[in-house]
Copies of this chain bind each other. A is one copy, B any other.
């Protein structure tokens, strides 16, 4: 496709996230249009497509990729379905934005990695949207200036109001801490080499049998120590904070002092209640960046390697949670096409 035309995007998956991306591409993103909406539930796909001027609807991702006005694929289906869709897109040579997780486990991620390597060029941007959040972007830029010196530690807080039904203790690692896995790797430029998980007495507000909160410690090949508080039934808000400690200073994000009120004996402000509120702009920027790059025939942002590394770290994390102690992370050697 040329720079002038708009990018036709097939959106795979019409659940909460897919529907939000359809709205985004239709109403927010510049230079893109919804070319297809796919869901195993045709009615759901139809309802979502109707809000985007009635884009064509499919139940089969492969069929959705066939029409000539489909220029790219956005995967927002459940994790286990990602691998097949990715491979199908590779066959058709279509660029992909794949929501996290790339795949549910490291073995599947490796198969995708292998397939992309055979293509000889990157086709996939993985949906780690925090890399597009204004505060994380500023923090990364600040680190890049070198003013703070070398990073030594990274402290993270990740809190949700309440966990959805069916949430399990290992999902605190594989779904939630997965974000910090990517953030740590990206900010530090290190790979994670070991994981330890500490288990405080669970909150009385957590469902029975859910180990919530957890305190996760990463070690990295650059000698940094990273800690993550994950607490998915904190009750008071959705809160993502990070402080990086470097040789000459620290930087902290996520305090969010936008609008301060004085009322009824208290000063302060409101806390976002979910991730769509906190990261709405990050999602907008993520999709815009993907559309812009794709229209210039480029692939940028988090790669299949990043998706694979996150999966491998999360697998080690889940083992550390279940077995106790310190679990080492085993990674392949990084292929040259994914930089270093």
Q: Considering residues A53, A204, A237, A249, which has the most beta carbons from chain B within 10 angstroms of its beta carbon?
A: A249
Q: Interface with B: A63-71, A73-81, A113-121, A222-230, which one?
A: A222-230
A251 and B247 contacting across the interface, CB-CB below 8 Å: no
Other-chain contact of A252, B29, B223, B259 (Cβ < 8 Å): B259
- Answer whether A53 and B263 are a contact pair too, CB < 8 Å, given A152-B213, A201-B223: no
Other-chain contact of A251, B203, B237, B261, B266 (Cβ < 8 Å): B261
Other-chain contact of A231, B138, B245, B256 (Cβ < 8 Å): B245
Select from chain B the residue with minimum beta-carbon distance to A326. Answer: B325
User: Is A334 on the interface with B (CB-CB < 8 A)?
Assistant: no
Shortest Cβ distance from residue A250 to the other chain B in the assembled complex, whole angstroms: 5
A265 and B248 contacting across the interface, CB-CB below 8 Å: no
Residues on B with C-beta less than 8 A from A253 are 258-260
B30 and A258 contacting across the interface, CB-CB below 8 Å: no
Q: Interface with B: A7-15, A269-277, A302-310, which one?
A: A269-277
Other-chain contact of A152, B29, B201, B217, B225 (Cβ < 8 Å): B201
User: Is A135 on the interface with B (CB-CB < 8 A)?
Assistant: yes
For the complex, give the distance between the alpha carbons of A13 and B220 in Å. 45
Residues on B with C-beta less than 8 A from A236 are 248-250, 262-266
User: Is A219 on the interface with B (CB-CB < 8 A)?
Assistant: yes
Shortest Cβ distance from residue A37 to the other chain B in the assembled complex, whole angstroms: 16
What number of copies of this chain does the assembly contain? Answer: 4
User: Is A200 on the interface with B (CB-CB < 8 A)?
Assistant: yes
Residues on B with C-beta less than 8 A from A265 are 236-237, 270-271, 273
Shortest Cβ distance from residue A249 to the other chain B in the assembled complex, whole angstroms: 3
- Answer whether A200 and B215 are a contact pair too, CB < 8 Å, given A28-B30, A139-B259, A259-B252: no
A249 and B229 contacting across the interface, CB-CB below 8 Å: no
For the complex, give the distance between the alpha carbons of A27 and B236 in Å. 38
For the complex, give the distance between the alpha carbons of A251 and B268 in Å. 9
User: Is A134 on the interface with B (CB-CB < 8 A)?
Assistant: yes
For the complex, give the distance between the alpha carbons of A234 and B262 in Å. 10
- Answer whether A148 and B261 are a contact pair too, CB < 8 Å, given A53-B3, A224-B201: yes
Select from chain B the residue with minimum beta-carbon distance to A246. Answer: B203
For the complex, give the distance between the alpha carbons of A261 and B262 in Å. 14
- Answer whether A229 and B155 are a contact pair too, CB < 8 Å, given A217-B198, A217-B217, A262-B249: yes
Other-chain contact of A255, B30, B204, B260 (Cβ < 8 Å): B260
Q: Considering residues A142, A255, A273, which has the most beta carbons from chain B within 10 angstroms of its beta carbon?
A: A255
User: Is A205 on the interface with B (CB-CB < 8 A)?
Assistant: yes
User: Is A150 on the interface with B (CB-CB < 8 A)?
Assistant: yes
User: Is A235 on the interface with B (CB-CB < 8 A)?
Assistant: yes
For the complex, give the distance between the alpha carbons of A152 and B200 in Å. 6
Given contacts A4-B53, A134-B258, A201-B224, 8 further A-B contacts (CB under 8 A): A148-B263, A198-B225, A201-B222, A237-B267, A248-B263, A251-B259, A251-B262, A255-B257
6 A-B residue pairings within 8 Å (CB atoms): A203-B247, A234-B250, A236-B249, A236-B250, A249-B264, A250-B263
